[in-house]
Amino acid sequence: MLLITVTRPDSENILKNMLEACSRKTCAVSVFLTGQGVQLLGNHEVLTALTEAAEAVACADSWREFFENDCPVTSGSQTDHSRLIGEAVQVVSL
């Protein structure tokens, strides 16, 4: 599995393209969003692309820092990030 860790709010195009490429190649991918990267979850196109991921988790503390509404993906913690890293064969950080 490929893990994509997203910390930058300007990673939208790269994230969408990577998720689409993984879908085309039937590569399992999970995404963890933290810090300012959770801001991408306010974008409908990103949310649509995330449906291709086996798992999408956002750091709950980061989410609460930027949004008041419920998180549209699984709300988690750095413990979830550690688990995903342990499950991943490759990790990409954006």
pTM of the predicted structure, to 2 decimals: 0.96
* Residue 72: predicted pLDDT: 98
Residues contacting 17, CB < 8 A, separation 6+: none
Could you give the 3-state DSSP secondary structure of residue 89? coil
Q: Which residue has the tokens 């969003």?
A: 33
* Residue 49: predicted pLDDT: 96
Q: Measure the CA–CA gap between 9 and 28, rounded to whole angstroms.
A: 23
Q: What is the pLDDT of residues 29-86, one digit of tens each?
A: 999 999 999 999 999 999 999 999 999 999 999 999 999 999 999 999 999 999 999 9
The full set of domains in the chain, from first to last, is 2-93 (3.40.1260.10)
For 8-86, strand residue ranges (E) read 29-33, 55-59, 74-76
